Structure 1
Amino acid sequence: MGFTQESLAAAVGVEFSTVGRWERGALTPQPWRRPRIATALDVSLDELDALLGPVSADAPTSPSQLSTGQEVPGQSHGTSLALPGSASTGVAGYDPTAHVDVGASPAEFLKPLTLDVQPPRRVGWAEVEQVRLMTRTLAASENLYGGGMAGEAGLAHLRWASRLLSSQAGTSVEAGMFEAVGNLAGVVAFSAFDVGNQDAAARCFRFGLWCAEQGGSWELRAATLADMARQAIYLGNLDDALSLIEFAQVRADRLTATARAMIGVVRARLLAMLGRHDEARAEVDRADEHFVGRQAETDPPWLIYYDEAEHAGSSARALTPLAMTDKRPGDAAGRLETAIRLHSDAYPRSRAFSRTRLATLNMTIGDPWEAVDIGRQAIADAPMLHSRRMSEELSKLVRACEPHLSIPEVAELSDFATSAMTNV
């Protein structure tokens, strides 16, 4: 039929190594696998059974029939596998060469598992660095692939790390631990925000803000309030967002130049959305001045992402309402082009956002043919991201295409974007 092991495995829903074991005769496909195999190979079930051999009369016919402790069909030497819930906790008599089946689904197999590991009674800088390492790893994953896996894994890390806050520690270590756990909470919150779980995001943001206050970290407090303002903007609560970002600017003298630039851009975006365009433009100019004066080596870990590319892309969002009013892409488009050019491969989501926004801007008030070229690149980047926000950006692009659907290339782009939305 022209299949490779990998492509047949994908069609049937197994690992490609399983197909290899079928071919070698080391393993016989379970009954519930056979209908998909028959469909893929374009044979009837009877023909497939004739090729593979009859199904044993006592073999289970569905994954759910592999109940606790039941012998798994196809295992050699009578070896049985104790599934979750079995009274057996040992591995005596288990044949490591035998086929292992975990039942209905891997998720159900692992669901009952818990690890109750008690936190140390006293923590030091080593534990603080452990939390920081978790946070860096999760933030890198979230930037690369969106908030799905990073949020789920991060929440488990956050639950564990929060228990360290009750351990004994010296004054400086205690402050460092609160700051580290608060930063972790912010990454988990933004991951939840990215995939659309707004309740979880709000709770984690609130916890992160509490940690920042307990640890006396003005920098983390300001960054968390800025993220909370972004969520409020997303939810349409512009008055709340304006209050949050202005709270973030309290004691701005304690913040790095990068933090002041980042906060200023969020406030500029709000002012633009409220129709206060002159104030928004002035706020962007001030943010630019702060950014020019930044010293990246003095920035805390949660501001590492805010580089020249991020500043360009974020300030472009603040200037987009002004561009729409003037009906000229202008500075907003120029900054998005800069962001696209400067975003490193560590931030593909940010680059995809900037490309999609630039395509939407050009499709709305610029050159639709240029928008098509940019939009195609954005759509090529989108499938690797698990991000509801990305899906919504693509939806905006689809709406912007509607007045130009008589152009075949635009109609094709709209179809591609619609299809990509379901895969993000």
Structure 2
Amino acid sequence: MSSRREGLARRRSAVGLTQERLAELLGVERSTIYRWESGAVNPQPELQPRLARALEVTAAELSELLGGASAPRAVSPRSSSQPAVRVRPGNANLGARPQDFLAATVVETPVPRRLGNADVEHVRAATRAVASAENLFGGGVSCEASMAQLRWAGRLLDVPASRPVRQDMAEAVGNMAGVAAFAAFDIAEHTVADRCFAFALWCADEAGSWDLRANTLAEMARKATYRGRFDEALELIEYAQVRSDRVTATARVMLATLRARLLALTGRHAHACAEIDRADAEFVDRNAELDPPWLCYYDAAEHQGSTGKALIPIARSGDDPEAAAGRLAKAVELQAAAYPRSRAFSQARLASLLIETGHPRQAVEVGHEAVLAAAAVRSTRLTTELHGLAQAASAYAQVGDVVDLRREIARLG
């Protein structure tokens, strides 16, 4: 195999594709494209037809561009495609840029010959780790890590196992796919998010998990709502509610709250308030011990924040703005240190609502806290929320404190 596949890189450029754009089309990371073009690894067989179509070449021409390789070669740290590095005391020269050195350092983690319960727990533990990083620092920190974990975990679904273990594994991998999807959504990698959501739904079917199915559809609805596709989002939520008797009470509350927000956004305010009343009543009687692991985030703080968010369109119409503001303020008070991004979202929404209802000085105080939190989080969604606050604050551009807040938001980029 050639050390570099110049022809492959030239062909990509000839059809007007960057490494980033080709990676997006194929649903892989940019570093994967780099490794293909550097000759470190071959594309997986299932990706080669799509790669050929993207490059507008035949299968035979693609084989030539790959150096005559018709199938990928497993690469390990001992492979000749990864030059050995001799480490000497006092010699810290990598011989390449850090990202290039690491891109050419590939390992293929082995999978067990047969799955057991311990393997399921390994996947669940990995999911908790990447989900914690995503909650603390946003999708910009955890997206690639969760995708790498997901690609490995997906291989486990082909390993022999008893039916119960296979179902548990499918659910665990689907949960990981949902975390990866939301991390991608958080940084506006919408194509990657859609692929992960689709994989999570497939896993839910394989596992026979109504809870995972409902949660995945809910996350898809959040993404559709964020992009202004309210009818699509409402359809997804109502589809998730088809067998609400099969999911836990917390899941039903979460789905009802999302539906309430969509009803409010589409002008059906009375129906939205009724839905929130039902969600409040069921939340009081829920048993959190029955919830699947991915619903651990939906506690009292999250419920206040979600219902407060649902009430914002009603508050903006002039109908009882105190109800939304009170719930958002309670969410800020309750949200724990493990969920700083959620707290910053509640602060940003509360500040926007205060601005819009004529309380700019209160809004500035809350808004400053949101900006401080956002500086430590890599979240496109949160930055967009804060820019919405800055836009709302333009009505008070003559107020010095408001000017300072808008400047702080602008520095976030």
Please say whether Structure 1 and Structure 2 have the same fold, judged by a TM-score greater than 0.5.
yes
1:337 counterpart residue number: 329
2:298 equivalent to 1:324: no
Q: Deviations over 1:15-36 (max 9, x none)?
A: xxxxxxxxxxxxxxxxxxxxxx
- Partner residue of 1:360 out of 331, 346, 352: 352
Residues 9-408 of structure 1: matches in 2 within 5 Å? 89=84, 91=86, 94-96=87-89, 98-326=90-318, 328-408=320-400
Shift of 1:311: 0.6
Separation (CA, whole Å) in 2 of partners of 1:409 and 1:116: 54
Separation (CA, whole Å) in 2 of partners of 1:286 and 1:114: 52
Aligned residues: CA RMSD: 1.5
Give the partner amino acid of 1:343.
Q
- Cα gap change, 1:90/1:407 in structure 2, threshold over 3 Å: closer, same or farther? closer
- Cα gap change, 1:282/1:86 in structure 2, threshold over 3 Å: closer, same or farther? closer
SS at match of 1:355: helix
1:6 counterpart residue number: none
Shift of 1:293: 1.1
> Do the aligned partners of 1:319 and 1:332 also contact (CA within 8 Å) in 2?
yes
Separation (CA, whole Å) in 1 of partners of 2:355 and 2:362: 8
> Do the aligned partners of 1:328 and 1:365 also contact (CA within 8 Å) in 2?
no
- TM, length-normalised to structure 2: 0.79
> Do the aligned partners of 1:333 and 1:361 also contact (CA within 8 Å) in 2?
yes
SS at match of 2:382: helix
Shift of 1:351: 0.5
Shift of 1:250: 1.2
Shift of 1:113: 1.9
SS at match of 1:384: coil
SS at match of 1:305: coil
Separation (CA, whole Å) in 2 of partners of 1:304 and 1:292: 16
- Cα gap change, 1:113/1:409 in structure 2, threshold over 3 Å: closer, same or farther? same
Q: Deviations over 1:180-212 (max 9, x none)?
A: 000000000000000110000011011001101
- Cα gap change, 1:250/1:371 in structure 2, threshold over 3 Å: closer, same or farther? same
1:61 counterpart residue number: none
1:35 counterpart residue number: none
Give the partner amino acid of 2:230.
L
SS at match of 1:406: coil
Shift of 1:86: 8.0
- Cα gap change, 1:275/1:114 in structure 2, threshold over 3 Å: closer, same or farther? same
- TM, length-normalised to structure 1: 0.77
Q: Deviations over 1:198-239 (max 9, x none)?
A: 000011011001101110000110000000111111122111
Give the partner amino acid of 2:213.
R
Q: Which runs of 5+ in 1 are unaligned?
A: 1-83
Separation (CA, whole Å) in 1 of partners of 2:220 and 2:249: 20
Give the partner amino acid of 1:196.
A
- Cα gap change, 1:90/1:195 in structure 2, threshold over 3 Å: closer, same or farther? closer
2:412 equivalent to 1:417: no
Separation (CA, whole Å) in 1 of partners of 2:117 and 2:290: 20
SS at match of 1:262: helix
Q: Deviations over 1:339-377 (max 9, x none)?
A: 000001000000011001100110111311100111111
Q: Deviations over 1:144-174 (max 9, x none)?
A: 0001221100101000000000111111101
Separation (CA, whole Å) in 2 of partners of 1:385 and 1:258: 27
Q: Which one has a bigger Cα radius of gyration?
A: 1
SS at match of 1:165: helix
Share of identical aligned residues, percent? 50
**Which protein has greater RCO, CA pairs closer than 8 Å, 6+ apart?**
2
SS at match of 1:326: coil
Separation (CA, whole Å) in 1 of partners of 2:104 and 2:288: 45
Shift of 1:419: 1.1
Separation (CA, whole Å) in 1 of partners of 2:308 and 2:229: 21
Shift of 1:95: 2.5
Shift of 1:417: 1.3
Q: How many residues align?
A: 335
Separation (CA, whole Å) in 1 of partners of 2:179 and 2:304: 22
Shift of 1:327: 5.9
Shift of 1:409: 0.9
Separation (CA, whole Å) in 1 of partners of 2:125 and 2:362: 42
> Do the aligned partners of 1:327 and 1:365 also contact (CA within 8 Å) in 2?
no
SS at match of 2:232: helix
- Cα gap change, 1:87/1:189 in structure 2, threshold over 3 Å: closer, same or farther? closer
Give the partner amino acid of 2:315.
A
> Do the aligned partners of 1:257 and 1:291 also contact (CA within 8 Å) in 2?
yes
Shift of 1:178: 0.4
2:74 counterpart residue number: none
Give the partner amino acid of 1:344.
A
Structure 1 segments of 4+ aligned residues over 6 angstroms from their partners: 84-87
- Cα gap change, 1:116/1:404 in structure 2, threshold over 3 Å: closer, same or farther? same
Shift of 1:141: 0.5
- Cα gap change, 1:90/1:143 in structure 2, threshold over 3 Å: closer, same or farther? closer
